[in-house]
Copies of this chain bind each other. A is one copy, B any other.
Amino acid sequence: MPEAASAQPTRAIDGVSEFDRDTAVTRREPGVYDIDLSAGWTIINAVNGGYLLAVLGRALADALPHPDPFTVSAHYLTASQPGPAVVRTETVRTGRTLSTGQASLFQLDEQGQEVERLRVLASYGDLDSLPEDVRTTAKPPAMPPMEQCFGPEDGPAPVDGSTAITERLMLKLDPSTLGWALGQPSGKGEMRGWFGLADGRDPDPFSLLLAVDALPPTAFDLGLSGWVPTVELTVHVRCRPAPGPLRVSITTRNLAGGFLEEDAEVWDSDDRLVAQSRQLARARLA
């Protein structure tokens, strides 16, 4: 158990975390929500895909009768910009255990036309209603303790592509997956790190949607550089996370034809596998 997991988290001074404030949606009418996408979650001017997923996730949690995202599938269409956006949701089916919804995020282009940024299909349930049974062969990622891991603030080499979002995250990467920052990528396609929110807010199902897409791309560890845009990202939330830092492990096994998959696992401080995700992304081959 990491020492930091038992430490008292530091909350934002006004009592509202940056993540909660910046993912809050305002209901305009039933199923339609307004949001001002924050510039605080951008990487080189692009709004982080996990942050966008958390925004749509919160809108669907309001629109659907069940509170927690169980499985969320997002197809990314155009690049979102910081600023005003509208989320339109549709309740597809409501059931006793699960309900399914759809959500899209729109922004206005320079001509004032609505442009769709991403579309999501998601099935929601109640994590607290699930039985306690666990039969798992999955093991938490082998990783050094947090104090032996490195974040963007630990330089010397600045983490490529890290901008505003790094100030909002507590991200400490396993040095064995950081060779690329020194020009020596391992070629294994792995990225591992400790993850939390910088203001100490504890994880919940919505911050898990952010966590799976917040590490540097595994493509860097494969020796590629440059942008790796997500085509599709599906997250399964399997358990409500315990307080304390998360461990995130991302692996790519198959880079082929200019596309690669990124498989993420998120583990909580109780050693529970709390989320699994897979995305298909485009890689610019060097």
B-binding residues in A (CB < 8 A): 70-71, 73, 75, 77-78, 92-93, 97-98, 100, 102, 116, 119-123, 127, 130-138, 188-189, 222, 231-232, 234, 236, 238-239, 253-259, 261, 272-273, 276, 278, 280, 282, 285
Contacts and interface: CB of A to CB of B under 8 A. Distances in A.
A249 to B, nearest CB: 12
Contacts of A137: 188-189, 253-254
Contact of A256 (B73, B102, B239, B253): B239
A92 B119 CA distance: 9
A interface, over-half SS: strand
Contacts of A97: 282
Given A70-B280, A116-B92, A119-B92, A135 B234 contact: no
B123 A121 contact: no
A7 to B, nearest CB: 27
Given A135-B255, A137-B253, A234 B100 contact: no
Contacts of A92: 75, 77, 116, 119
A238 B253 CA distance: 12
A276 B273 contact: no
Given A71-B231, A127-B257, A137-B253, 17 more contacts: A70-B280, A71-B280, A73-B73, A75-B122, A77-B100, A78-B93, A92-B116, A102-B119, A123-B232, A132-B257, A133-B258, A137-B189, A137-B254, A236-B278, A238-B254, A254-B273, A276-B278
